[in-house]
Structure formats: structure tokens, C-alpha cells
Chain A
Amino acid sequence: MKDLALHILDILQNSVTAGATLVKLQIEEIPSKDEYLVKLIDNGKGMDAEMVQQVTDPFFTTRTTRKVGLGLPLLKQNAERTGGSMTIQSEPGKGTEVDVKFIFSHIDRLPTGDISGTLALTVSSYPAIDFIYTHNTPDGTFIFDTFEIKETLGDLPINNPQVIAFMKDLISDNLKEIKAS
């Protein structure tokens, strides 16, 4: 993966496949502690302890179309390359939380990439799922909540091309405002 946004696009699919109805993505930039934290929390079907152990194994996947599953292993590798880490907590029936820590100043920390595009595409592909995205920087906080968007839209579908374009602009504009890296 070339950037963090692509990783997020990839990992969000896990939550979708797990049948989540609410997915939270939190990004926290803490330059003072030299940390860049990414958190994904869903209310999907969760995993038992054994499966949590296995998911970072590249040869583990729940798919039947192929024998490898590289989403989480690649993300873990990229986090560890910066001296950071990835931890997964999950409980069957409750949901899953993936915590990724990158070292902020490390040269190998992936560029953030097109977060706004990633969110807009995912949100529009799964109209039945709600997403809450929070981005924290020392300059402020931005919250993107699909509850609000859907409420404003009424019966206009969230996958209308112009709504997708709007969501992209909304996110990228506000991220610029809080000086997201």
C-alpha cells in the first residue's frame, strides 16, 4: 500500500464483512509525543482469542476465493517499520478494535494519502452502515458523522455522485483547516 488512506480503505472492509452497523475511525496526531494513532472500532461479530492471534498471519483469511490475507499483516508491517505497533482487541458478538501506532517523525511513516476519498467511497458503497470519523491534531478536531449527513439528505441517497463529491470536499476542506498532515 502506498499510503495510509489505502490501508484504511482495506481494513474498513473487514468491519463491513463482519456485519458491523457502526464503524468508528479515529486518527490522532500527537507530535508532542511523537505519535500518530489510528483506531478502528466496529460493532461487528467480533473474533475469538484464537482468531485474533491468527489474523496477522498472512496465510490466514476467511475468504474462500484465495488462500492469503494480507490486509492486517501489511498494516502491521508498516506500523512496525516506523517503530510503532498494532494491537487488536475483539470479543465475539461485541465487535473489534484495531489500534495502530506510528511514530510521527519516522521517515518510513506512510504519507496520509486521500483520506477524504477513502471515506466518501466507503460511506457511499454501504449506505446501511454508519461511519463516524474523528481526526485530532494540535490545531483542532474534525468529526465526520454519517448520521448527520443522512439526516440532512432525507430521502436523497447517500450514493448520489454529487453527494459523494460533496463529502470528499467537506472532509478534505476541514482536514486542511485543522492542519492534518
Chain B
Amino acid sequence: MIGLTVVAALLATLPLLLILTLLLKQGASSLNVAFFTAMPKPVGEVGGGMANAMLGTVMLIGVASAIGLPFGIGAGLYLAEHKAEPLAAVVRFLSDVLNGLPSIVVGIFAWQFLVRPVKHFSALAGGIALGVMMIPLVTRTTEEMVRLVPDALREAALALGFSRWRTSLTVVLRTALSGIVTGALVAVARIAGETAPLLFTAFGNQFWSTSLTQPVSALPLQIFTYAISPYDEWHALAWAGALVLLALVLVVSLIAKFVTRPRFGSGSD
């Protein structure tokens, strides 16, 4: 029985190893400085990079975080600190449903309310769509982390004359902070690779654009566009882009792991 679980555990990590091997084999050769600094070249020309897509991804993550973090952390704090209230049960359920919502649906939602009325695609619409996806992820991890804060600490703060919200904001939130930061980073890693919600919101852009009201490219969008194209040099760039995306997720996950490493041991240090 134990042997079977070990095999299952190894098999569970196998896909990541296979993907990494494949991407390294196919994408590493196209990965050079120009990939990060140059703009896409027209069809037929060799070289070029994805600088615009990287900028787009950074912009989209920025907008998404501006929405996902405050709402997600606030909601998670509410759920953890008022766990018995009926409203909390409703919010928790709806948050889980939102978390399970197919990302394309979120994209359609953003298109309907943010793209259609202004009649053009925009980075803002894409970022908001990603932000909506972030909220339930951040809510859930925040709630779990805040619940881990011992009641004894809350009581200590209250007994020192702290109001309830001040206790939440200082003692509780600060104690849970490293866990919340990890949750936020994992959520960023998760949405950074989303393609579907961007298809008809951020849309993609072959040019350098820093405007939130204009369409922008993003790494996953560019990969998608290049991968379905009939050109070999674009395929190569798509592989490289996929490798960069994977590396990004790995790095963010590693940072998250670094942030949560235990700092306050029970022994003297």
C-alpha cells in the first residue's frame, strides 16, 4: 500500500519534469537577450522577441493585484474573524463558486461590462478580469492563514485595550502576514499564465503599449498567437515564451516558499 502511494507521489511530479524537459529542449535555443528586449519581427524575418508581451504581463498583473489583493485579503479577514456569522457562510460558498468558475466565463463577463461599452479592448479590462480571478484565491488563503493565528493572541491584544479592528489589523494580520504574502504570490503565479480571460479583453498587441486603455499583449496570449501560426520561427518563439512563463511561475513559487520559512522557532534563537 505504501509502495503504491510512493509511486503515485512520484507520478504526480512527473508531468512537471516532462514539461520542463520538453520546454528546455524546444525553447532554450530561442532564448537570448533579444527575446526579452526586442519587439516581435514581421513574418519571415528571423529573430525578434517578446518585450511588449512581458510589459503587458507586468501591467496586467499590476492591475489584477490592485483589485485582487485588497478585496481578497479584506474578504478573507472577514471570513476568518466572523466565521460564525450567516453572511460569512454565504460569502465563503460564493467565493468557492467563483474560484471554480471557468476562466473564459470571467473573460466574457469583463468583455460585456468593460470592453463592449467603450467599444475597444484594453489592458484595464484584461487586468480586471484577472483580478476577479485572483479574489477567491487570495480570500481562501487569507482566511486559512488568519484562522491559524491563536485566539490567545487576539485575547492578549484585546486585553491590552485594543479595539477589535485594531486587533485584526495589527496583531492578527501581522502574525498571518507571511502566509498571506505566500497566498498572494501563488495567486499571481496562477493568473500570470491565464490566457482565456485575456482573449477578448486585453486582446493582444504587436506594438509597444503602456496605456491601460489600449489593448496589450501578454506572454500567454503571444504564445497562443504564435503557436497557432503556420511559421516555424514563431513556433520557436512560442516555445521560448512558454519556458519563460514556467520559469516565472517557478521563481514566484520559490519566493513564496522563502517568505514562509519559519522565522520564529519555539526555541531560543
Q: A and B from one assembly?
A: no
- B binding-site residues for A, Cβ under 8 Å: none
- A binding-site residues for B, Cβ under 8 Å: none
